[in-house]
Amino acid sequence: MRYFYDTEFIEDGRTIELVSIGIVAEDGREYYAVSTQFDSSKANAWVRANVLDKLPNPSSKVWKSADTIKREVYEFLTSTGPTPELWAWVGAYDHVLLAQMWGDMAGLPREIPRFTRELRQYWDMAGRPTLPELPNGNHDALIDARHNLAKFKVCMAALPLGKRDRVS
């Protein structure tokens, strides 16, 4: 099963802190959570204007502890069988945040891949087809994860049939 995800975060060049995560599975299931544990005072002006201002009301049930997010992400990614395939657009930070849910890389459960497939690179390999327009509300992790799935579908359609099979 392919999973397309995005994270929003606060970083200072030395540390990175999860704000929210959105994941969309190819079968249509979705997961979204906002961490109750990030320090908004560390956010730069861009994150304040483009991420924090778009978060749901803190009374929403999507606000969760880091332990709850970790447990739910694990259950979501492993619910349809072994070896989920992770995809993100320029996903280096996204993968670090995902892995750090379990501490260091050694703590990452075996069932979670040690890498995220790079959707931006896949777009280049597909010949840079025209991507869907940015959706309203981008920089919301779930909206961006949905957009990642849409971008993947455009790239798949742009590749010759034989090359599509070699993506996984």
Residue given tokens 């995800």 in the structure block = 5
Q: Can you read off the two tokens belonging to residue 107? A: 């703590």
What DSSP designation does 153 have? H
Q: How far is CA 128 from CA 5, 34, 167, in A?
A: 20, 32, 16
CB burial of residue 6 (10 Å; 0-12, 13-18, 19+): buried
Q: Is 12 annotated as a binding residue?
A: no
Which residues make up each annotated binding site for Mg(2+)? 6
Which residues make up each annotated binding site? 6
